[in-house]
Amino acid sequence: MTTRHHPPGVLRRTASAAAAAALALAGAIALPAASARADTTTSGDVIANLWEYNWNSVASECTDVLGPNGYGAVWVAPPAESLKQSTYYWWDVYQPYSYNLNGRFGTAAQFASMVTACHNAGLKVYTDAVVNHTAAQTGVGYNGTTITNKYDTPDWDPADYHTSAECNDSDLIIDDWSNLSEIQNCELLGLPDLKTENDHVRSGIAAYLNKQIALGVDGFRIDAAKHMPVADLNAIWAKLDNTTSGADPYVFQEVYPGSTPAASDYYASGDVLDFTYASRLKSAFQGNVSDLSSLESGGILPAADSVSFVTNHDTERNGLHLSYKDGDTYRLANVFELAYKWATPTIYSGFEWSSSDQAPPNSNGFVTNTDCSSGWYCLQRDTAIAGMVKWHNAVGSAAVANWSTKSSNVIGFARGTGGYIALNNGSSAATYTFATGMADGTYANVVDNGATTVTVTGGNATLTVPAKSAIAFYNGAFTPCTTCEPGDGGSTSTVSATFNEYASTTSGTNAYVVGSIAALGGWDTSKAIQLSSAGYPIWSGEVSVPINTSFEYKYVKKDSSGNVTWESNANRSAASTTSALTLDNSWNVASASATDVTFNVSATTSLGTNVYVVGSLASLGSWNTSDAIPLSSASYPTWSKTVIVPKSTAFEYKFLKKDSSGNVTWESGTNRSYTTGSSSGYSTSDTWK
């Protein structure tokens, strides 16, 4: 088969002049064009990434929201049976136990019904394909499969995996991330690495994907693609069947940034998810959106070879990209992605989280139905986003035109003569006159679901663009969304504040934050916000606080009897803006006397083993391994964590490892030493010894 480089034509609904007239009679907002227009709710190419929704919820979303609002495809989490461990972490599903389709998100029958429902709603279905590796942890899977040897599964025998002979590394773990052979023949975090150069393995992977294709799946996002050679991938694709629509399956690949391999190496085996695009958007929307005028020369991947995104399940957690916690800034970045002419766009929707490993809402590990009012952030339902999907479909392939930079925070541009958008990333409303290039007339503002209109006279429009919002309109009939979340797509009044406090406690004692504003209890300890101990000894919590507001706060501890202990330092102070903020503190270390040290250590581990730092200061656990600080593996093999410690202080520290059973391994050698000064931004660069 020939690998398709672009998403195949979606299941389109025909539209005629009669259909357009029916829209008008049904309450669609008519625009000034005299000739009949296609119904712009017809599905285009926008992909809704409904990450870790269960199959029944995906089916409902396709029918009720995605189809009626013009989305072209839905991308869902891995459907195979996977590891089921006691904490039900989200990454269970990226450790396949078997290629059986009874899994964490529902049964094989529910999966098939979901695919049919989405097709009936006019959408293609793409699944996450985890085919580089299988599970690192033994145990029992979501369909009851028991694995006692990670190299012996229902689908694979030990001979189907790479060994130290191919890896050229005795521990089998990827240590040298500049060595292509090691990246593609050794194990990622101890995940058994399949011999994709073996035709038997290629056939087994193809059989798993063909099983999904037979049920109607239209394509695949290839997880960890950089760990498989392009030749191997193309050999697998050659074994795939055509989809039920008669097309080649669409393939798009995860090639996580690094020194090697390059994203461009994978253009020959499918499209590539563009991490640089998302990074450029984060930089612009946390800085100057006027910088987006040079987006195409900023190192992003070619449009013909890429898929764009604002964030995904990995990068929203490791801080590389924006997340729902950035509130209106995050929404506005997605609005821009849908407006700008470039690659196939994706809209990410997932669940809310306070710790990076946190499980999705579930019952005994099985993901429960999505409730957009509790535990989930459903961006695809936002009226601004749904409106912009229709705008995106209406302007089609028209080029960006009439670019206008009014300030560092305010830009505007057209797509040919078919649509115009003005975008304001500032903290207050902005009024400007824009040369739209569009025909004179009155148009619906799709960002507020048609609640307001825009008048174009002489090709110009004078617009007052709300703070952290946009005004967008197009030449065609706009049908307001009736299944979207309430709201006008404009600015919200709160932003997420994440509190991280280092505090050692005894059993039964918890840490809280309390402060001067109502969202923090108004200094009433009975209304203090309890923090999560999931990252102990770092206690964390997320609170919605008013935007552009200064406030004071402190941490308290409460024991099982309700006795309250306040930290001894002065009140801490902070100020919110219109973007998410994170406040890192350490118990009894006053903000005025505190500085930050980012500990970085290069250390390889097997899956389930993590790296910690501990030291001579109270804020480093006072050498107590149970109070050691867990480091993040987001930039593995470098483990990092920023810790709040006193200024102008000398201390000692060491790194240690803890496995899933809690066994501790200290690094060798003498204690390390460090001395802070009176400024901030200190860091170490260490290697495990």
CA distance 594 to 575: 18
Q: What are phi and psi of 53, to 5 degrees?
A: -70, 145
Is beta strand 366-367 parallel, antiparallel or unpaired with respect to 376-377? Answer: unpaired
List, in order, residues 6 or more apart from 364 with CB less than 8 Å away. Answer: none
Name the residue among 430, 546, 425 with its Cα closest to residue 492: 546
What size, in residues, is the chain? 689
**CA of 419: how far to CAs of 54, 165, 206, 395, in Å?**
36, 58, 43, 6
**What DSSP designation does 29 have?**
B
**CA of 543: how far to CAs of 255, 487, 495, 530, in Å?**
34, 21, 8, 10
CA distance 660 to 606: 10
Among residues 128, 254, 337, 686, the one annotated as catalytic is: 254
Tokens encoding 157: 């025998």
Q: What are phi and psi of 376, to 5 degrees?
A: -125, 150
Q: Do 450 and 343 contact (CB within 8 A), yes or no?
A: no
List, in order, residues 6 or more apart from 521 with CB less than 8 Å away. Answer: 514, 515, 527, 528, 529
Tokens encoding 410: 């305010």
Is beta strand 682-683 parallel, antiparallel or unpaired with respect to 366-367? Answer: unpaired
CA distance 516 to 502: 21
How many Cβ atoms from other residues are within 10 Å of residue 368's Cβ? 14
CA distance 190 to 170: 12
CA distance 507 to 218: 51
Name the residue among 504, 502, 531 with its Cα closest to residue 644: 502
How many Cβ atoms from other residues are within 10 Å of residue 303's Cβ? 17
The SS3 assignment for 194 reads strand
Among residues 64, 175, 176, 223, the one annotated as catalytic is: 223
CA distance 612 to 681: 20
CA dihedral 93→97→98→99, nearest 10 degrees, is 20
Residue 344 region by backbone torsions, left for phi larger than 0, else alpha for psi between -120 and 50, else beta: beta
CA distance 326 to 498: 11
List, in order, residues 6 or more apart from 343 with CB less than 8 Å away. Answer: 271, 274, 277, 301, 303, 306, 307, 308
Catalytic status, residue 223:
yes
Name the residue among 448, 416, 482, 481 with its Cα closest to residue 335: 448
Catalytic status, residue 254:
yes
At position 168, the amino acid (one-letter code) is N
Q: What are phi and psi of 233, to 5 degrees?
A: -60, -45
Q: What are phi and psi of 14, to 5 degrees?
A: -75, 150
The beta strand positions in 352-452, using DSSP E, are 362-363, 366-367, 376-377, 400-405, 410-415, 419-424, 430-435, 441-444
Q: Is cis: bond before 68, omega within 30 of 0?
A: no
CA distance 68 to 386: 10
Considering only CA atoms, give the Rg of the chain: 26
Positions marked active-site: 223, 254
